[in-house]
Amino acid sequence: MLRTAIIGAGKWGRILVESVQDDAATGLRFTAAATATPDKAQDWAAARGIALHADYAAVLADPAIDAVVLATPHGQHAAQVAAAAAAGKHVFVEKPFTLELPGAQAAAEACRAAGVVLALGHNRRFLPAAQAMKQAMAEGRLGTLLHVEGHFGGPAGFAYQPGGWRAETRESPLGGMGSSGMHMLDMMIHLAGPIARVAVESRALVLTNGLDDATAMLCGFASGATGNFATLAAAPRYWRVALFGSDRILEMRGQDQLVETPREGPPTIRDFPPTDIERAELMAFAAAAQGGAPYPLTPAEAVHGVAVFAAMQRAAATGAVQPVV
């Protein structure tokens, strides 16, 4: 059993804990926590058998902790991942991995050098529909991939109040990218490979808390395929990703339905049962940390996602196409 500490016991940190706690089949149990507001977490932690530590340093110094799960502000991730690696702790970090490319590269290298598992929380990779799309790509059923479309947004921006860390532009550049868009960006990389260049438009049309609410990207993949992507921070929740090949189209509508359209003939529709993707990603992390299958998102992919995010920010600021470096 992987003895794990949750770092950050806010809403999302608690969701992660609740997805696996007291379920031996997951291979992971949260035994400790550190949070910026311990008074607010005392009762919750006690009810779940979680010991509250004074701070992150105390967690890393505890030999009874094997791993940490970071549900902390984005800007803290790079330093926290590197510190976990130095302490010999396996580390699962929520997206975005980091906000700057040098920090991502340094954090990934620290984990490699220390021999600890680095896992990034892009939970949509664990959707059965996404796994079916990945398998179809691996089998070559689409023919030549021509184009990728993605959209993931929702109303989260309305809840971000001035003064909260999520409403700070340095923590949430390009509006909905931090809360939603990074998941779709990762899905595009997961399905179609590295992205080579990007152009971006990002602006605020509704929100008054300082964040953009409409962000759109046009991109070129290293394979030669084109792509476009949008994330909204002030609209009803929506998920869609589509792969357009020379032989067929695969389109995920919502997170549990896959539509396959051949070049000739009618489309087929597959519906998948809802999946606890938080439980699935933490189980994969626990397995990798205990010598099982590698976590199905490589450190190189995590770093590349940050590189694309950085290029998107440059493209939005300059109004020019930017290479992903």
Tens of pLDDT, residues 214-240:
999 999 999 999 999 999 999 999 999
* Residue 211 and residue 233 share a domain: yes
Assign 249 a pLDDT band (cuts: 50, 70, 90). Answer: very high
Residue located via tokens 């979680």:
50
The answer to whether residue 307 sits within a structural domain is: no
The answer to whether residue 309 sits within a structural domain is: no
* Residue 189 and residue 77 share a domain: no
Cross-strand partners of 52: 33
* Residue 148 and residue 81 share a domain: no
Token readout for 99 is 């906000």
Q: φ and ψ at 226, to 5 degrees? A: -100, 165
Q: How many CB atoms lie within 10 A of CB 234?
A: 21
The answer to whether residue 317 sits within a structural domain is: no
Residue located via tokens 């607010």:
40
- Choosing from 91, 123, 155, the residue where a domain stops is 123
* Residue 95 and residue 213 share a domain: no
The answer to whether residue 292 sits within a structural domain is: no
* Residue 221 and residue 173 share a domain: yes
* Residue 69 and residue 53 share a domain: yes
* Residue 263 and residue 163 share a domain: yes
The answer to whether residue 313 sits within a structural domain is: no
* Residue 178 and residue 261 share a domain: yes
Residue located via tokens 């929380």:
121
CATH code of residue 58:
3.40.50.720
Q: φ and ψ at 259, to 5 degrees? A: -110, 125
Three-state DSSP state, 95 = coil
The answer to whether residue 289 sits within a structural domain is: no
Three-state DSSP state, 119 = strand
Token readout for 49 is 């058998």
Q: Which amino acid appears at position 135 of this protein?
A: Q
Token readout for 217 is 């990207």
CATH code of residue 210:
3.30.360.10
| Class of residue 256 by CB neighbours under 10 A (exposed 0-12, middle 13-18, buried 19+) | middle
Assign 125 a pLDDT band (cuts: 50, 70, 90). Answer: very high
The answer to whether residue 305 sits within a structural domain is: no
Tens of pLDDT, residues 193-216:
999 999 999 999 999 988 999 999
- Choosing from 98, 123, 148, the residue where a domain stops is 123
* Residue 131 and residue 99 share a domain: no
* Residue 101 and residue 59 share a domain: yes
Number of domains making up the chain = 2
- H helical segments located in 181-321: 181-192, 277-289, 299-318
- Choosing from 275, 298, 317, the residue where a domain stops is 275
Tens of pLDDT, residues 47-86:
999 999 999 999 999 999 999 999 999 999 999 999 999 9
* Residue 173 and residue 258 share a domain: yes
As a whole number of angstroms, the distance between CA 269 and CA 122 comes to 25
Res 313 pLDDT > 80: yes
As a whole number of angstroms, the distance between CA 159 and CA 199 comes to 28
Total-model pTM: 0.94
The answer to whether residue 219 sits within a structural domain is: yes
Domain of residue 145 covers: 124-275
